[in-house]
Amino acid sequence: MKLVSEFLNSIPIQTTTLVSLISILAVFGPFISVSGGFWDATNHLLNDPEYFWSIQHMVVYFGVSLVASAGFLSMFLLIKKSVHGILKTGILLVVIGAAIQLISGFADSLSHDVFGIDGLISWSHQPLELGLVLASLGGFLVLKNKEHTRLKILIPFSIISFLFFTTWLVFNFALIFGHTIQCIY
Protein backbone atom coordinates (compact mmCIF):
# COMPACT_ATOMS: atom_id res chain seq x y z
CA MET A 1 0.00 0.00 0.00
CA LYS A 2 2.90 2.31 0.74
CA LEU A 3 4.24 1.75 -2.78
CA VAL A 4 0.88 2.72 -4.28
CA SER A 5 0.73 5.81 -2.08
CA GLU A 6 4.24 6.88 -3.11
CA PHE A 7 3.38 6.35 -6.79
CA LEU A 8 0.21 8.42 -6.51
CA ASN A 9 2.00 11.22 -4.71
CA SER A 10 4.53 11.37 -7.56
CA ILE A 11 1.81 12.08 -10.16
CA PRO A 12 1.99 15.81 -10.98
CA ILE A 13 -1.78 16.42 -11.04
CA GLN A 14 -3.11 18.87 -8.50
CA THR A 15 -5.94 17.83 -6.20
CA THR A 16 -8.06 20.79 -7.29
CA THR A 17 -7.79 19.75 -10.94
CA LEU A 18 -8.82 16.19 -10.09
CA VAL A 19 -11.74 17.39 -7.98
CA SER A 20 -12.94 19.60 -10.83
CA LEU A 21 -12.71 16.76 -13.34
CA ILE A 22 -14.45 14.34 -10.98
CA SER A 23 -17.32 16.77 -10.42
CA ILE A 24 -17.87 17.28 -14.17
CA LEU A 25 -17.76 13.53 -14.91
CA ALA A 26 -20.00 12.65 -11.95
CA VAL A 27 -22.65 15.19 -12.98
CA PHE A 28 -22.76 14.57 -16.72
CA GLY A 29 -22.18 10.79 -16.66
CA PRO A 30 -25.48 9.83 -14.98
CA PHE A 31 -27.41 12.29 -17.14
CA ILE A 32 -25.98 10.84 -20.36
CA SER A 33 -26.57 7.30 -19.11
CA VAL A 34 -30.23 7.96 -18.30
CA SER A 35 -30.74 9.70 -21.64
CA GLY A 36 -29.49 6.59 -23.42
CA GLY A 37 -31.68 4.45 -21.15
CA PHE A 38 -34.80 6.39 -22.09
CA TRP A 39 -33.88 6.12 -25.75
CA ASP A 40 -33.42 2.37 -25.31
CA ALA A 41 -36.78 2.05 -23.52
CA THR A 42 -38.45 3.87 -26.41
CA ASN A 43 -36.89 1.39 -28.81
CA HIS A 44 -38.27 -1.44 -26.67
CA LEU A 45 -41.74 0.07 -27.07
CA LEU A 46 -41.27 0.20 -30.84
CA ASN A 47 -40.25 -3.49 -30.79
CA ASP A 48 -37.01 -2.69 -32.57
CA PRO A 49 -34.52 -5.54 -32.30
CA GLU A 50 -32.06 -5.21 -29.48
CA TYR A 51 -28.38 -5.99 -29.58
CA PHE A 52 -25.42 -5.22 -27.36
CA TRP A 53 -23.81 -2.61 -29.61
CA SER A 54 -26.92 -0.57 -30.42
CA ILE A 55 -26.44 3.20 -30.47
CA GLN A 56 -28.73 3.55 -27.45
CA HIS A 57 -26.64 1.11 -25.46
CA MET A 58 -23.47 2.92 -26.55
CA VAL A 59 -24.86 6.16 -25.08
CA VAL A 60 -25.63 4.34 -21.81
CA TYR A 61 -22.15 2.78 -21.75
CA PHE A 62 -20.55 6.15 -22.45
CA GLY A 63 -22.40 7.71 -19.50
CA VAL A 64 -21.43 4.83 -17.23
CA SER A 65 -17.82 5.07 -18.42
CA LEU A 66 -17.79 8.76 -17.43
CA VAL A 67 -18.99 7.84 -13.94
CA ALA A 68 -16.51 4.95 -13.78
CA SER A 69 -13.72 7.37 -14.75
CA ALA A 70 -14.85 9.73 -12.00
CA GLY A 71 -14.80 6.81 -9.57
CA PHE A 72 -11.33 5.76 -10.69
CA LEU A 73 -9.97 9.29 -10.31
CA SER A 74 -11.69 9.54 -6.94
CA MET A 75 -9.77 6.51 -5.77
CA PHE A 76 -6.54 8.47 -6.35
CA LEU A 77 -7.71 11.19 -4.00
CA LEU A 78 -8.89 8.72 -1.38
CA ILE A 79 -5.63 6.77 -1.44
CA LYS A 80 -3.59 10.00 -1.31
CA LYS A 81 -5.78 11.07 1.65
CA SER A 82 -5.97 14.55 0.17
CA VAL A 83 -9.71 15.09 0.72
CA HIS A 84 -11.64 15.54 3.93
CA GLY A 85 -15.11 16.37 5.23
CA ILE A 86 -18.03 16.77 2.85
CA LEU A 87 -15.70 16.55 -0.16
CA LYS A 88 -14.55 13.11 0.98
CA THR A 89 -18.19 12.04 1.45
CA GLY A 90 -19.02 13.20 -2.08
CA ILE A 91 -16.03 11.39 -3.53
CA LEU A 92 -16.93 8.19 -1.65
CA LEU A 93 -20.47 8.38 -3.05
CA VAL A 94 -19.08 8.74 -6.57
CA VAL A 95 -16.91 5.64 -6.05
CA ILE A 96 -19.77 3.59 -4.59
CA GLY A 97 -22.20 4.76 -7.29
CA ALA A 98 -19.71 3.91 -10.03
CA ALA A 99 -19.07 0.45 -8.57
CA ILE A 100 -22.80 -0.29 -8.27
CA GLN A 101 -23.38 0.83 -11.87
CA LEU A 102 -20.58 -1.35 -13.22
CA ILE A 103 -21.71 -4.43 -11.31
CA SER A 104 -25.39 -3.85 -12.15
CA GLY A 105 -24.57 -3.20 -15.80
CA PHE A 106 -22.83 -6.56 -16.03
CA ALA A 107 -25.77 -8.20 -14.22
CA ASP A 108 -28.20 -6.50 -16.62
CA SER A 109 -26.29 -7.87 -19.59
CA LEU A 110 -26.50 -11.37 -18.09
CA SER A 111 -30.19 -10.87 -17.39
CA HIS A 112 -30.85 -9.91 -21.02
CA ASP A 113 -28.92 -12.97 -22.19
CA VAL A 114 -30.94 -15.29 -19.95
CA PHE A 115 -34.41 -13.69 -19.92
CA GLY A 116 -34.46 -11.48 -23.03
CA ILE A 117 -35.98 -8.01 -23.07
CA ASP A 118 -37.21 -6.81 -19.70
CA GLY A 119 -39.29 -3.87 -18.55
CA LEU A 120 -38.69 -1.05 -16.10
CA ILE A 121 -38.70 -3.44 -13.20
CA SER A 122 -35.90 -5.98 -13.10
CA TRP A 123 -33.50 -7.24 -10.48
CA SER A 124 -30.63 -5.45 -12.22
CA HIS A 125 -32.24 -2.12 -13.12
CA GLN A 126 -33.00 -0.88 -9.62
CA PRO A 127 -29.42 -1.25 -8.31
CA LEU A 128 -28.22 0.45 -11.51
CA GLU A 129 -30.57 3.35 -10.77
CA LEU A 130 -29.35 3.45 -7.17
CA GLY A 131 -25.80 3.79 -8.53
CA LEU A 132 -26.97 6.74 -10.64
CA VAL A 133 -28.53 8.39 -7.60
CA LEU A 134 -25.41 7.91 -5.46
CA ALA A 135 -23.03 9.11 -8.19
CA SER A 136 -25.14 12.19 -8.91
CA LEU A 137 -25.42 13.00 -5.18
CA GLY A 138 -21.66 12.59 -4.89
CA GLY A 139 -21.19 14.86 -7.92
CA PHE A 140 -23.40 17.48 -6.28
CA LEU A 141 -21.43 17.32 -3.00
CA VAL A 142 -18.14 17.61 -4.87
CA LEU A 143 -19.50 20.57 -6.85
CA LYS A 144 -20.79 22.17 -3.66
CA ASN A 145 -17.22 22.11 -2.44
CA LYS A 146 -16.21 23.97 -5.63
CA GLU A 147 -19.02 26.56 -5.40
CA HIS A 148 -16.56 29.44 -5.35
CA THR A 149 -15.20 28.53 -8.78
CA ARG A 150 -16.62 28.68 -12.29
CA LEU A 151 -18.02 25.18 -11.76
CA LYS A 152 -20.77 26.65 -9.57
CA ILE A 153 -22.81 27.06 -12.75
CA LEU A 154 -23.31 23.26 -12.74
CA ILE A 155 -24.82 23.13 -9.24
CA PRO A 156 -28.47 23.72 -10.34
CA PHE A 157 -28.05 21.09 -13.07
CA SER A 158 -26.66 18.61 -10.53
CA ILE A 159 -29.54 19.27 -8.12
CA ILE A 160 -32.15 18.73 -10.83
CA SER A 161 -30.39 15.57 -12.01
CA PHE A 162 -30.19 14.15 -8.49
CA LEU A 163 -33.86 14.92 -7.80
CA PHE A 164 -34.91 13.41 -11.13
CA PHE A 165 -32.92 10.19 -10.61
CA THR A 166 -34.19 9.84 -7.06
CA THR A 167 -37.80 10.38 -8.19
CA TRP A 168 -37.36 7.80 -10.95
CA LEU A 169 -35.98 5.24 -8.49
CA VAL A 170 -38.84 5.87 -6.04
CA PHE A 171 -41.36 5.58 -8.90
CA ASN A 172 -39.94 2.21 -9.91
CA PHE A 173 -40.02 0.98 -6.31
CA ALA A 174 -43.66 2.09 -6.12
CA LEU A 175 -44.37 -0.07 -9.18
CA ILE A 176 -42.78 -3.05 -7.44
CA PHE A 177 -44.85 -2.61 -4.30
CA GLY A 178 -47.97 -1.89 -6.33
CA HIS A 179 -47.59 -5.29 -8.01
CA THR A 180 -47.47 -3.65 -11.44
CA ILE A 181 -46.02 -5.87 -14.12
CA GLN A 182 -43.83 -3.97 -16.57
CA CYS A 183 -42.87 -6.62 -19.10
CA ILE A 184 -42.70 -5.32 -22.64
CA TYR A 185 -43.03 -7.91 -25.40
Q: What amino acid occupies position 107? A: A
Residue 121: is its pLDDT beyond 90? no
What is the C-alpha end-to-end distance of the chain, expressed in Å? 51
Mean pLDDT is lowest, of 13-17, 89-93, 160-164, 176-180, for 176-180
Distances from the Cα of 84 to the Cαs of 78, 101, 147, 148, 173, in angstroms?
9, 25, 16, 17, 33
Q: Which amino acid is at 86?
A: I
CA distances (Å), origin 166, targets 44, 131, 150, 171: 23, 10, 26, 9
Q: What is the pLDDT of residue 87?
A: 87
Taking CA atoms, 92 is separated from 27, 38, 155, in Å, by 14, 27, 19
Q: Do 128 and 104 meet the contact criterion of CB atoms below 8 Å apart?
A: yes
* pLDDT tens track for 2-14: 665 565 566 656 7
Closest CA to 72 of 161, 153, 11: 11
- Looking at residue 33, the DSSP 8-state letter turns out to be H
Please write the tens of the pLDDT for every residue from 92-111: 999 999 999 899 888 877 77
Q: What is the pLDDT of residue 104?
A: 85
pLDDT in tens, 17-67: 788 899 899 999 998 988 888 887 787 777 666 666 788 888 988 999 999
How many whole angstroms separate alpha carbon 144 and alpha carbon 121?
Answer: 33
